Amino acid sequence: MKDFDQTLFRCIDETMAGVMGFIARDALYLDLLTRFSVSRENLPLHIENLVGVLEKNLGPVPTRVISRTIAKRLYTELGIEFAEKSEFGLLEYVDEAKTILLGNETKHR
């Protein structure tokens, strides 16, 4: 899953920089590091902390929009069809992507 985590990190990093700008993205990374001791490199293992920091700093609606934008980018990078689900947040989209990829690996063996 190392490749998955690297792809996920790149999608998070590029989406946040594109949507918020580099300064705001880096401020959120600093908040993650300060509040949760989560470094940028470990971000894929701590999605719930990222969502918490986004909600604290931006509110629920912008967090939902950014989360879906990250998910769409991730699915595109992985070659998975994205279907928006109103009950899904970033963590659920990431879990779904992992499940789909694992299912595809099993089919190809």
Residue among 22, 87, 96, 20 nearest 54 (CA): 20
HSE toward the beta carbon, residue 22, CA cutoff 13 A: 0
Structural domains of the chain sorted by starting position, each given as residue range(s) with its CATH number in brackets = 2-107 (1.10.1200)
Query: 109 pLDDT exceeds 90?
Result: no
At 8-38, the pLDDT tens digits run 999 999 999 999 999 999 999 999 999 999 9
At 32-76, the pLDDT tens digits run 999 999 999 899 999 999 999 999 999 999 999 999 999 999 999
Cα separation, 86 vs 64, whole angstroms: 10
pTM more than 0.95: no
Indicate the average pLDDT of the chain: 93
Mean of pLDDT values over 70-90? 96
pLDDT of the residue at 107: 59
